[in-house]
Homo-oligomer: A and B are copies of this chain.
C-alpha cells in the first residue's frame, strides 16, 4: 500500500528549519561553509520530516543516475546467473544499482532502441554482445559501454572489452584429456547455436590446437553441433553419438550446463564417467562441484572478469580513464575433478 502523505521535499525541510533550500542542499551534500549549528538544525528537520532527497530530480539535475545496465541473453543459463550475481554484488558495494535487461530472440524490441533507452537512464552499460551479432552500434551511445565477450573484436566495434580466454581454456581442457590417454574426444557445442556462435568457434579452436600439439587427428564425427548450450542439447547430442556407435572416450563440452546432459546421456547408456568416458566442461558453475561425479571444468575467472569490467566502466564514467579502448583478457584455469580423473589416478 502506498503511503498517503506526500513525501517531504527540500523546500519543506528548508521551511521547517528556517533556512533556504540551498542550505539544505549544502547540508545534504556535505558541502563546507555551513555553520555546525545550522547543519544540526537542518539535520533535525530532515529527521523530523523523514525527508529523503528525490533521486529522480537529482538525476535530472546532475545528469547521472548511479545505475548501471547489464545486458545479457538469459539468466536461465547458470553462467550468466552467476555472472549477474557477482556483478550485482560488486556494483552494489561500489554504490551502483543494476538494471538487468534480457535481450534474446524472443525480444521484439529494436536492439538499438533498447540501448539508447538504457543509455538514458544509466551511467554505463555492461553487455554480453555475442548474442547481438552486430545488431547494435555500441560506439555512438551517450554513456560508456564495456563488452563482456570472448570473440576477438577484430570485426566488431571499438569498445572496451573484458574477454575470457576461450581458446586457451579449451586448449587446457582438451590437453588434459589427451594427456590422460584419451584419443577419441568429442567436442560438444559447435555452432549453429545462434547465441553462442563466436564463443563456440573459439572453444573449438582451442580443442583443435590441443590436438595439433599432441599430434592426434580429429575426427569430424566427434565434432558435435548443438542448438543451444543447455543440458537437453548435451543429452541429445551425446545420445545420438553413442547410439550411432561412434567411439568416444572423452568429451569436452563447451559449457558445464551441457556437460550435465552429456553425463546423463552417458550413464543412461550404461557407461561410466570417467572410466569409460571422461568429461570436461567449461565455466565452473556452482553445480559442477556436485554432479556425480564432480565435473572437471575450465574456470574462466568470473570474479576477475567482473572486477575488471567494473573498473573499466567506472573509470570511463568518472573520467579517470580516457583515450583509446582497451581489451583485458582474463586467464582461464583448469579445475580437476572426478569426471576426468579416477581416484586411482589423481594426476595432480
Contacts and interface: CB of A to CB of B under 8 A. Distances in A.
Interface stretch (A40-48, A136-144, A200-208, A212-220): A136-144
B7 A142 contact: yes
Nearest to A258: B290
Contacts of A109: 92
Which of the listed residues A74, A100, A260, A268 has the most CB atoms from chain B within 10 Å of its own CB? A100
B67 A99 contact: yes
Contacts of A78: 78, 81, 287
A89 to B, nearest CB: 6
Contacts of A55: 117, 120-121
Copies in the complex: 2
B121 A56 contact: yes
A137 to B, nearest CB: 10
A100 B102 contact: no
A106 B89 contact: yes
Nearest to A100: B100
A67 B97 CA distance: 13
A22 interface: no
A2 B267 CA distance: 52
B264 A287 contact: no
Interface residues of A, number: 66
Given A75-B75, A231-B286, A292-B267, A99 B97 contact: yes
A287 B287 contact: yes
A76 to B, nearest CB: 5
A152 interface: no
Interface in A269-304: 286-287, 289-292, 294
Interface stretch (A28-36, A57-65, A246-254): A57-65
A325 B120 CA distance: 35
Contacts of A260: 287, 290-291
A232 B101 contact: no
Interface in A1-37: 1-3, 7
Contacts of A232: 289-290
A1 B88 contact: no
B292 A292 contact: yes
A193 interface: no
A101 B70 CA distance: 13
A240 interface: no
A235 interface: yes
5 tightest A-B CB contacts, nearest first:
A231-B290, A81-B81, A75-B85, A267-B292, A88-B102
Given A2-B143, A54-B60, 11 more contacts: A1-B139, A2-B141, A52-B117, A59-B60, A74-B85, A88-B101, A98-B99, A230-B286, A260-B290, A261-B290, A267-B292
23 contacts: A1-B144, A3-B140, A52-B117, A74-B85, A75-B82, A75-B84, A81-B81, A84-B100, A88-B100, A89-B106, A92-B102, A92-B109, A98-B100, A99-B100, A232-B289, A234-B290, A257-B287, A260-B287, A263-B292, A264-B290, A267-B292, A268-B292, A292-B292
